[in-house]
Structure 1
């Protein structure tokens, strides 16, 4: 039977999802974080799902793209990237997105973050219509499960008193003992065998102590440390020297390719990035300067799953390792990450995922971690189903918000606890 894969409707649903009080160099996560759920519907009634950032600056281009899709084939994914998205360039030109934690923002990178959700939704719809998993559309899987790393954070026991939020079950982690306890909890719940600590929160000596405590508690397990560019080159070299032989890699210790290249030249510890290589145009400088040895891909940044495969191929040609970056995300994005990760031959590092921190989702069933891994679904499309009641509930939260949570701002969230807080100048140390 011939399927009619013409797009007849596109539904965009901005939502607010509960988030834990996780600390980083810019401040603390807000009680709720914005996400955007994309649904692409075909004439045959097949619905493909996608997910991306839901901050206000992403919504206008998403709406402009959604208006252009009815009447087009869901198979024409290449055509998506030729369409004109409305972007208010004055709001994004070379600014730091989400306090710098997503790197430098510009109009092209914003477009790709929006396009990524539509590309995933189209691939999900294609897979459902053809009875094939997304990984088959990407060339086929080379592994049956994908390994993920426990993503550890310094955190408060709860959001500041008087700030509306959901209950937090994890408790505080503000010192090495707290980080080790958090890692044990992640291991017991999900079976993770590698660990990444979000640093840049406390002076480097305190974070070195936390990594050493993890190494003692979990001997032989891969460890990573990510201060989000909070350190100077001398501080980065000092930390690298202290943790040589302990870290699997050190992620974005300093800001920018030039600084990373200087650190790389002075240490044997591999450097990873999701901040100085986030577009194809940034690859040449970083790779020829040997500034990074591992790129943390992110299909949201790079424009989708097919571009992720292109990035992995370029990394392989240069002998650069590949893993995957994660920001606060739900199950649609985790399913998409897992599908594309299953197709990357040279994926030798566990991927990051915030998903265990998210107490809410828009799926009928949460994605499970077993032994620190997610099984690669062979069901048609992404292999996930939307919970419409939960989607509606989280959208109501967004609709009823007074605007304070519709853009992620970790510095503003920190000021709820400390009105004197200002975004630190980089490098902090």
Structure 2
């Protein structure tokens, strides 16, 4: 094979808006539509690789700079992706971050609502953009060589990946007119949460359940977990309030649920608070907020703040760096799970490919995917018994549904700017102008 065929010839960026249900979290409520970005890396051999990440304006701006720098580079040189994006957009991204109020996480300002991953920083934004380009390069390389992405990462250790049902307190519909509708109904009490879980189990076969907390009074969320434990005895249960609780509240919840929780995810905000909670309970603490970069690992591990880290290739800068994180967790005896954002099939395929290569991934992975009614790949992935098979097809094993992509891009073009940046707090205030993020 001629090396020139592996050179990047073109990069296509397609921002889209996908419909999203009225799911509640500590920051507010999901908007009717949320932005995503589809990246296509086209080689000189005519092979197209796919990647996906957040689509908010600052991510799109960063991606454009990297897209301009990539043509002429080999798709194999994924380690060098960080250099052009860092040089090209450091100032612009830092300005956008500081404008978002990143210095005030205690007030909810500057929090990255797209993934609720803690305070937004320029470094985290760059990693999330690079992740989509790395995935697209690996997809193109795999398609060129006739190998699945997992083979490029060293080979799979499992033939299927287990996923967890992602439960939310939610409204029956978005406020006002014009938002997407569904038939799930409201889930604002334990009975509603259990009904939601039963539907997930019946439709997709999920056996593990995670509830997004930080929405209602902690006692009501404890009651919801207790109801789930009664309805699904012996099934792994998780609760994630996204750092909404004080240390005292976190410890009270841990005591109330210590006999049924698989783990408690980010009950309090920040490594110091998590370490204090961890010292006062035997319930394993997990995180996708206080440990989302390599720089945050030493303190968190040294202080015993977390026993499980939720990996996410969007956070960590791609599939290779996800494997690096997994190796560190294995070295320090820290467990590994997988975080999810409001993703489509490209990201789900990437998650499944890298998850297949991680021996230490002993917890079911999170996924929002069943909540998404639209996609840009065909055919849509199908969960059976709560699992997805690991594709051995070349690349990621998914094909782009170009008409669907174009339709969702048209929605983005037609938007008046209200939905191009995800803002759960603004969406909540559209329904209740006096609402503010709560801490218990």
TM-score over 0.5 for the pair = yes
C-alpha distance in structure 1 between counterparts of 2:181 and 2:223, whole Å: 30
Per-residue deviation, residues 252-280 of structure 1 (Å, max 9, x unmatched): 00000000000000000000000000000
1:133-212 equivalences in 2 (<5 Å): 133-162=148-177, 164-212=178-226
Structure 2 partner of 1:130: 145
Structure 2 partner of 1:380: 394
SS for the counterpart of 2:49 is: strand
Structure 2 partner of 1:39: 40
Structure 1 partner of 2:2: 2
Contact 1:62–1:85 (CA<8 Å) still a contact in 2? Answer: no
Contact 2:114–2:341 (CA<8 Å) still a contact in 1? Answer: no
Contact 2:265–2:285 (CA<8 Å) still a contact in 1? Answer: yes
- Assess, with a 3 A threshold, how the Cα gap between structure 1 residues 72 and 99 changes in structure 2: closer, same or farther: closer
Structure 1 stretch displaced more, 190-199 or 81-90: 81-90
C-alpha distance in structure 2 between counterparts of 1:60 and 1:260, whole Å: 34
Structure 1 partner of 2:111: 96
Structure 2 partner of 1:29: 30
SS for the counterpart of 1:407 is: coil
CA offset at residue 169 of structure 1?
Answer: 2.1
SS for the counterpart of 1:146 is: strand
Contact 1:272–1:293 (CA<8 Å) still a contact in 2? Answer: yes
Structure 1 stretch displaced more, 34-43 or 168-177: 168-177
Structure 1: stretches of 5+ with no match in the other structure: none
* 4+ residue segments displaced more than 4 Å: none
Structure 2 partner of 1:108: 123
- 2:149 equivalent to 1:120: no
CA offset at residue 324 of structure 1?
Answer: 0.5
SS for the counterpart of 1:282 is: helix
**What TM-score do the two structures reach when normalised by structure 1?**
0.98
C-alpha distance in structure 2 between counterparts of 1:99 and 1:50, whole Å: 17
Per-residue deviation, residues 156-191 of structure 1 (Å, max 9, x unmatched): 0000122x2122121111100000000000001100
Contact 2:114–2:342 (CA<8 Å) still a contact in 1? Answer: no
C-alpha distance in structure 2 between counterparts of 1:169 and 1:103, whole Å: 32
1:209-288 equivalences in 2 (<5 Å): 209-288=223-302
Per-residue deviation, residues 70-121 of structure 1 (Å, max 9, x unmatched): 1111111112122134233122144322288121111111100000000000
- 2:365 equivalent to 1:351: yes
C-alpha distance in structure 1 between counterparts of 2:363 and 2:155, whole Å: 20
Structure 1 partner of 2:305: 291
Contact 1:149–1:194 (CA<8 Å) still a contact in 2? Answer: yes
Structure 1 stretch displaced more, 175-184 or 98-107: 98-107
C-alpha distance in structure 2 between counterparts of 1:384 and 1:131, whole Å: 14
Structure 2: stretches of 5+ with no match in the other structure: 103-109
Contact 1:85–1:111 (CA<8 Å) still a contact in 2? Answer: no
- Assess, with a 3 A threshold, how the Cα gap between structure 1 residues 270 and 384 changes in structure 2: closer, same or farther: same
- Of 339, 346, 351, the residue aligned with 1:337 is 351
Per-residue deviation, residues 205-233 of structure 1 (Å, max 9, x unmatched): 00000000000000000000000000000
- Assess, with a 3 A threshold, how the Cα gap between structure 1 residues 207 and 188 changes in structure 2: closer, same or farther: same
Per-residue deviation, residues 344-370 of structure 1 (Å, max 9, x unmatched): 011110000000000000012111111
CA offset at residue 420 of structure 1?
Answer: 1.6
1:319-334 equivalences in 2 (<5 Å): 319-334=333-348
C-alpha distance in structure 2 between counterparts of 1:401 and 1:411, whole Å: 19
- 2:50 equivalent to 1:49: yes
Structure 1 partner of 2:106: none
Structure 1 stretch displaced more, 99-108 or 333-342: 99-108
Structure 2 partner of 1:81: 82
Equivalent residue pairs, number: 425
SS for the counterpart of 1:374 is: strand
SS for the counterpart of 2:194 is: helix
